[in-house]
Amino acid sequence: MNTLFDKIWDAHVVSQVPDGPTQLYIDRLYCHEVTSPQAFDGLRARGICCLRPERIFCMPDHNTPTRDQDKPIADPVSKAQVDALARNAAEFGLTHYGMMSPDNGIIHVVGPEKGLSLPGMTIVCGDSHTSTHGAMGAVAFGIGTSEVEMVLATQCILQQKPKSMSIRIEGTLGKGVTAKDMALYLMSKLTTSGATGYFVEYRGSAVRALSMEGRLTLCNLSIEMGARGGFIAPDETTFAWLKGREFAPKGADWDAAVAAWRTLRSGDDAVFDREVVFDAAEIPPMITYGTNPGMGMPIDGHIPADAAPKALAYMDFAPGQALLGHPVDYVFLGACTNGRIEDFRIFASLVKGRRKAEGVTAWLVPGSWAVKKQVEEEGLDRVLAEAGFEVRQPGCSACLAMNEDKVPAGKYCVSTSNRNFEGRQGPGSRTLLASPLTAAAAAVCGVVTDPRTLL
């Protein structure tokens, strides 16, 4: 029997180039300000318009500041990119959620929360972490700028079909272990190239037990294993989360959609090109020590003896070193990986009744205005304020050094984002990827701390 990936892919095939790529129909294109300008310029040069503008949604996120968004952006490069997206969307008749719009935020947070990303869809964006939307039961993947132009013009894309991979995680996660730890654990075991050439379906009882926010985190990090994308078959958790959202079907259309979505699953006899199985009970709270997301270890572990010398030199770490107790300068909660309401609940639950450590700079950045509103409605902002934290305005923030939130050279940041490359959070910055719970523990203790000791 075909896998779920086969079902969704095959349902979107328009034509097959002999001995070449597939022409694949795309249900949803997301555009942000970084990778789209040249694509729109290409349309102008050809004198053509967007084929299906109602299927395209635009919003700035990478360059947006997380303070004073009601004022002009100070950085001229960031301002130019944000302004260009607004002009392009207006010229080509596309939906645009600009800064200060209640619909704005990180594109991979807004898409699912508005019901724009739905089960069975094909979804693309000029951003590698488009795999996030796979949590909805969609085939979602990042594309390049020339491919963005292709989808703008034709609502189709030429793609080689990836192989299919099953990652099955069975059992129950332990105390203090989150979906972020699950993803970091997978990367530490499979490496950052372990899923190259594959589209991953996450399966098993531990995956099904995840909330939608947890599933979005897990799928977000698929690309960091080299995968083309990752997804989870839709189930009752998916349907309950989507019901009533702005762009989700309504009334009889909802009932029909759910009936169709229930068929979106791989059969028990589905054949994958590769299958791996993990025990959830063996997954600890994780933290990275190096300069790619696969360089991860248990929070209470030691840096491997064979760790890459160049990475350790950049991080100023040594083989065999423990990270527990290591001083922390910055803490970042946010990004398309961990900027959702559940992440703020987790962070707030640990810092409640405690105080931010002296000397730690903390950036708590919701993934959208909707998340910020929910943080305030639930009173989490007051809990955080009493502990010495400020909730900022939405954006990609310190996930990458394309806005004002940059970690200074030589400083250590415990970050809930997705990448710890050299200079990712600022030139010379040193990033330790971890879960919101581990980030919260570091924020109140001032050093790398096992969150289980504070629960």
| Top CATH class, 286-453 | alpha beta
Q: How confident is the model at residue 27 (pLDDT cuts 50, 70, 90)?
A: very high
Domain topology for 163-281: Aconitase; Domain 2 (3.40.1060)
The pLDDT of 362-371, averaged and rounded, is 98
At residue 415's C-alpha, the angle toward residues 139 and 214, to 5°, is 40
pLDDT digits (tens, 9 = 90+) for 235-257: 999 999 999 999 999 999 999 99
At residue 107's C-alpha, the angle toward residues 368 and 31, to 5°, is 145
- With 80 as the cut, is the pLDDT of residue 296 above it? yes
Q: Take residue 172 and report the two structure tokens written for it.
A: 């129950």
The pLDDT of 133-162, averaged and rounded, is 98
What's the CA gap between 380 and 372, in Å, rounded? Answer: 10
Q: How confident is the model at residue 42 (pLDDT cuts 50, 70, 90)?
A: very high
How many other CB atoms sit within 10 Å of the CB of residue 20? 9
| b/e code 79-93 from CB counts within 10 Å (16+ = b) | eebbebbbebbeebe
Q: Give the containing element (helix H, strand E) for 370.
A: helix 369-377
- Token pair 């909330």: residue: 211
Q: Take residue 284 and report the two structure tokens written for it.
A: 């600890």
What's the CA gap between 303 and 448, in Å, rounded? Answer: 14
What's the CA gap between 275 and 242, in Å, rounded? Answer: 29
Q: Take residue 25 and report the two structure tokens written for it.
A: 């129909």
Q: Take residue 262 and report the two structure tokens written for it.
A: 């229930």
Alpha carbon distances (Å) from 258 to 66, 168, 213, 238, 262: 37, 24, 20, 10, 6
Residue type at 257 in one-letter notation = A
In this structure, the strands spanning 274-279 and 229-231 are unpaired
Cβ atoms 211, 245 nearer than 8 A? no
- Token pair 């990275």: residue: 288
The pLDDT of 277-291, averaged and rounded, is 98
pTM higher than 0.95, yes or no? yes
296: phi then psi, degrees, rounded to nearest 5: -120, 160
Q: Where are the beta strands (DSSP E) in 334-437?
A: 361-364, 412-415, 430-433
Q: Which of 199, 145, 154, 155 is nearest to 32 (CA)?
A: 145
At residue 182's C-alpha, the angle toward residues 177 and 187, to 5°, is 140
The pLDDT of 211-217, averaged and rounded, is 98
How many other CB atoms sit within 10 Å of the CB of residue 305? 7
pLDDT digits (tens, 9 = 90+) for 348-360: 999 999 999 999 9
pLDDT at residue 227 in the model: 98
- Sign for the CA dihedral angle at 69, 70, 73, 78 comes to positive
Q: In DSSP terms, which residues pair with 163 in a beta bridge?
A: 198
- The DSSP letter of residue 214 is H
What's the CA gap between 445 and 327, in Å, rounded? Answer: 9
pLDDT digits (tens, 9 = 90+) for 420-431: 999 999 999 999
How many other CB atoms sit within 10 Å of the CB of residue 254? 15
pLDDT digits (tens, 9 = 90+) for 112-125: 999 999 999 999 99
The pLDDT of 257-280, averaged and rounded, is 96
Is there a common fold for 4-159 and 286-453? yes
pLDDT at residue 16 in the model: 95
Q: How confident is the model at residue 85 (pLDDT cuts 50, 70, 90)?
A: very high
Q: What is the CATH number of domain 4-159?
A: 3.30.499.10
Domain assignments of the chain as residue spans, ordered by start: 4-159, 163-281, 286-453
What's the CA gap between 238 and 269, in Å, rounded? Answer: 23
Q: Which of 34, 100, 29, 38 is nearest to 62 (CA)?
A: 34
pLDDT at residue 268 in the model: 87
Q: Take residue 16 and report the two structure tokens written for it.
A: 């097959």
pLDDT at residue 1 in the model: 72
Give percent above pLDDT 90 in the chain: 99
